[in-house]
């Protein structure tokens, strides 16, 4: 009897996948071009998202994760481990929890690599359908974040590379700084429309462009 039931969520035939923003993307109007926009929002839809749980103080666990993912396992809140070339990132979420983002369709393979490398008390769960990633950028992106969250986004407290999880409006988001004026927000599917519309509304005064 197998201990864990892995599941390949992806069809092998051509099937139209819809991101969490499929509904709001067609029902909300924004600027036609990025020219003059203070804020730009781009959805990086349909990526692979996984939650990893395990013991940070177990050397075998750490080594296993790093060998399976090819990036270091962050052991405290701070810089997100990333390999942008392969599109892999690992973010510390809590003392025994990490968020792994991988390219579209690679969630099961990532899970399988982790399971092959790990043993004992750990868990890997796919959440690719549960969330989506938004890139928020532009000269006024910071103001939009300050309107939406109580966290201190100043570079002294939030340098490029750092990732956190916090409240965003009346929902939550994972927020990562990828550049001086570039951010990634990872938001839950069911709150995605609310947050997307919130961000557009908060960005309105700066001019907002939503990239296709």
Q: Which residues bind other proteins (CB under 8 A)?
A: 1-5, 7-13, 15-20, 22-23, 26, 46, 51, 53, 96, 121-131, 143, 146-147, 149-152, 154, 156-157, 169-171, 188-195, 197-198, 201-202, 204-207
Q: Report in angstroms how near the CB of residue 179 gets to other proteins at its nearest.
A: 17
Q: DSSP state, 206?
A: G
Q: Report in angstroms how near the CB of residue 167 gets to other proteins at its nearest.
A: 10
Q: Report in angstroms how near the CB of residue 21 gets to other proteins at its nearest.
A: 10
Contacts of 117 (CB under 8 A, 6+ apart): 64, 65, 67, 68
Q: Which is nearer to other proteins, 63 or 123 (CB)?
A: 123
Residue that has been written with the tokens 């092959």 in this structure: 116
How far apart CA 82 and CA 182 sit, in angstroms, is: 15
Q: Which is nearer to other proteins, 83 or 205 (CB)?
A: 205
Q: Which is nearer to other proteins, 81 or 191 (CB)?
A: 191
Q: Report in angstroms how near the CB of residue 83 gets to other proteins at its nearest.
A: 24
Length of the chain: 212
Q: Report in angstroms how near the CB of residue 24 gets to other proteins at its nearest.
A: 8
How far apart CA 112 and CA 108 sit, in angstroms, is: 6
How far apart CA 98 and CA 110 sit, in angstroms, is: 14
Q: Which is nearer to other proteins, 66 or 122 (CB)?
A: 122
User: What single string gives the DSSP state of each residue in 91-105?
Assistant: EEEETTEEEEEESTT
Q: Which is nearer to other proteins, 83 or 123 (CB)?
A: 123
Element spanning 208, H or E: strand 208-211
């Amino acid at each position: 009897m197998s201990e864990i039931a892995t599941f390949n969520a992806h069809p092998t035939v051509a099937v139209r996948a819809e991101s969490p923003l499929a509904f709001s993307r067609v029902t909300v109007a924004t600027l036609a071009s990025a020219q003059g926009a203070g804020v730009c929002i781009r959805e990086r839809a349909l990526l692979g998202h996984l939650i990893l749980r395990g013991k940070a103080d177990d050397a075998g666990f750490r080594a296993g994760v790093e060998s399976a993912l090819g990036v270091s396992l962050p052991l405290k809140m701070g810089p997100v481990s990333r390999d942008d070339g392969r599109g892999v990132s690992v973010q510390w979420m809590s003392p025994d929890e990490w968020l792994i983002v991988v390219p579209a369709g690679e969630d099961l393979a990532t899970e399988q690599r982790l399971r092959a490398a790990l043993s004992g008390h750990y868990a890997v769960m796919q959440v690719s359908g549960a969330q989506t990633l938004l890139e928020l950028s532009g000269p006024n992106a910071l103001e939009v974040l300050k309107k939406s969250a109580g966290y201190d986004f100043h570079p002294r407290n939030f340098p490029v590379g750092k990732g956190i999880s916090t409240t965003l409006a009346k929902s939550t988001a994972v927020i990562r700084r990828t550049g001086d004026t570039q951010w990634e927000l990872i938001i839950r599917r069911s709150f995605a429309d609310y947050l997307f519309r919130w961000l557009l509304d908060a960005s309105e005064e700066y001019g907002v462009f939503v990239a296709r």
